[in-house]
Structure 1
Amino acid sequence: MDAIKQWLSQNSLSLSVLKYLAWVIFILVVVQFFRRYIKKNLPDSTTRYRSQKGIEIFGYLLLIILTLSYFTGNIKDFTLAIGLFTAGITITLQELILSIAGSIYIFVVKVYKPGDRVQINGIKGDIIDIDSIYTTMMEIGEWVTSDNYSGRIVKLSNAFVFRGPIYNYSQDFPFIWDEFDLPIRYGSDVELAKTLFINVATEVLNEYTTDSLAKWKDVVGKYYIEDAVVAPTLAISMTDNWISFNLRYIVDYKKRRMTKHVLNEKIHQEVEKTNGKVVLASATIEIIRLPEVTIQK
């Protein structure tokens, strides 16, 4: 016992480090215990997810307080300790600090949340997880067309929230505008075509138009933005080959591809029912008149 006491008295710094590590391990174990307890006992996925993240952030803050108070000897020395701590690790741990700050910023400001569809740093996808350092996305696009999943899971540093624009497809207004062109041959009944296209769009998009109207009013009331038309609209332009009908409409951000498919299918069916009064155009060459050729013998 005397030898142990003598060693402890001669190695007070080592003892302090061991005590500190013991506290760190204890805090981490407690945090993990509560995370698992919440995961098993909270049925609602949203509440469970937020609670787990809250406990994780609380654990990090507790470790920071423990570190500062333990090595400064007095919790009143926080200002000096934080200054020294920041000066020492700003350069070497800049990315980590920005990532942790970014995670706090994401949760406080609500830049995005799990389930949102966003585009960050040129990568588009659905947010499937946000932790203290990384945002995890299920990628959309790349080698697949439209808004289909590519199958790749992408991890992005939370520091990107400070480095560039973030495009959120679903925050505040879970609808987007989409459009496509319908080429109609010259000589077709233009008024019939207009009526046909608008009627089909109104029928298919009625639910989206109704739901988006209330949401858009909230957006106009919240932000400095002009009011917009959410009902389907047509714009006509004349080209060298055909009359181009541009159909613009609003749609759920996750159903853009399927909605465009349904619209094209129904419009094609209705055009076929006009018995030639409305004809879809294509890039073909129509010979109107052959030149006369005189052959001299």
Structure 2
Amino acid sequence: MTEIEQLRDWINTNPFIWSIVKFMMILIVVLFCIQLLRRYLKKKITNTVIRYKAQKGIEILGYALLIILAIIYFSGTIKDFTIVIGLFTAGLAFTLQELILSVAGSVYIFLVKVYKPGDRIEINGIKGDVIDVDSIYTTMMEIGQWVSSDNYSGRIVKLSNAFVFKGPIYNYSQDFPFIWDEFNLPIRYGSDIDLAKSMIIKIASEVLSEYTTNSKAEWKSVVNKYYIEDAQIDPTLAISLTDNWIQFNLRYIVDFKKRRFIKDLLNDKIRMEIENTNGKIILASTTIELIKIPELKVNLGEDKKGQ
């Protein structure tokens, strides 16, 4: 018996296994075509956003096509197919729980729109900008850690999509791409407080005018969409009296990506205006007042006698 005849006999005696082999060959061809199409789109589309969405669309359509092909292909041997699927599903449920949750999480992220590429989020204690969401992982450009403020650390973080079911997700940009920020200014007692208040509010209103105008329209949409009370959008200033100085607390709204830049700009402009007041407004600092210096008695006469 030749090798070809032996192969034919093996196929005749194991039709289901041969069906699995043929399906795997079809699977490889379809996956190869998807990759070719993704590379073609990557070369031809120059716009980053459109290219990313097109590649993701091809990936989703490819998975859907594979599912349809599997159903059509195995419909003739559905009895054997259901037995295999049942055993395979039982194994997955026990050994691949995290993977199943990740896939379910990707579907949840897509349908509910928990976040999308370009959003700034904090999840599982990690903060960063979302740069990719696939069927298993969310990829982020990390912010913070050993660097101050909202600066990139340079590390790319991959998080399992299963984390969307395990804790809170803080989204800095969804529905309302602005955040409230604040900082304190210590003003010395005896300064012209009314002048200081008007000066700080004027500077904040001028610097933040664009963000204030844009955020008001966005905030109206948030109020209409969610059960939430209206909020103060314009810059506000509150003062409190301390033992050492009068503390000014400036609160304002800003683009979530411009927080560090705007805080630096406000501090610098306020500093220059305070210097131009010729001492009417003075920034305070921690001071120590000595009430009494301990007395030191030195008897040089007794020391000389002892010598």
| TM-score, normalising length: structure 2 | 0.87
* CA shift for structure 1 position 15: 2.0
The answer for the alignment partner of 1:164 in structure 2 is 167
Letter in 2 for 1:98: L
The answer for the alignment partner of 1:280 in structure 2 is 283
Aligned partners of 1:243, 1:227: CA distance in 2, in Å? 29
Gaps of 5+ in 1: none
Give CA deviations for 1:204-242 in whole Å, capped at 9, x if unaligned: 111111111111111111111111111100011011111
The answer for the alignment partner of 1:97 in structure 2 is 100
Change over 3 Å in CA distance of 1:64–1:292 after alignment to 2: closer
Moved more, 201-210 or 4-13: 4-13
Report runs of 4+ in structure 1 exceeding 6 Å deviation: 75-82, 289-293
Gaps of 5+ in 2: 300-307
Percent identity between the two aligned chains: 66
Is the CA contact (8 Å cut-off) linking 1:184 and 1:243 kept in structure 2?
yes
The answer for the alignment partner of 1:26 in structure 2 is 29
> Helix, strand or coil: the match of 1:176?
strand
Aligned partners of 1:4, 1:79: CA distance in 2, in Å? 27
Is the CA contact (8 Å cut-off) linking 2:74 and 2:81 kept in structure 1?
no
1:63 aligns with 2:66: yes
The answer for the alignment partner of 1:45 in structure 2 is 48
> Helix, strand or coil: the match of 2:37?
helix
The answer for the alignment partner of 2:251 in structure 1 is 248
Letter in 2 for 1:176: I
Is the CA contact (8 Å cut-off) linking 1:178 and 1:251 kept in structure 2?
yes
Give CA deviations for 1:60-104 in whole Å, capped at 9, x if unaligned: 233344445545636799988866553331121111111112112
* CA shift for structure 1 position 39: 1.9
The answer for the alignment partner of 2:210 in structure 1 is 207
Q: CA RMSD in A?
A: 2.7
The answer for the alignment partner of 2:303 in structure 1 is none
Moved more, 79-88 or 61-70: 79-88
| TM-score, normalising length: structure 1 | 0.90
* CA shift for structure 1 position 105: 1.7
Give CA deviations for 1:185-205 in whole Å, capped at 9, x if unaligned: 111111011001101101111
Give CA deviations for 1:263-284 in whole Å, capped at 9, x if unaligned: 0111011111111111100001
Q: What are the within-5 Å matches in structure 2 for residues 3-152 of structure 1?
A: 3-67=6-70, 70-71=73-74, 73=76, 85-152=88-155
Letter in 2 for 1:59: G
Change over 3 Å in CA distance of 1:166–1:80 after alignment to 2: farther
* CA shift for structure 1 position 41: 2.7
Change over 3 Å in CA distance of 1:209–1:87 after alignment to 2: same
> Helix, strand or coil: the match of 2:239?
strand
Aligned partners of 1:76, 1:146: CA distance in 2, in Å? 60
Aligned partners of 1:195, 1:45: CA distance in 2, in Å? 45
> Helix, strand or coil: the match of 1:91?
helix
**Max Rg structure:** 2
The answer for the alignment partner of 1:154 in structure 2 is 157
Change over 3 Å in CA distance of 1:77–1:18 after alignment to 2: closer
Aligned partners of 1:149, 1:113: CA distance in 2, in Å? 19
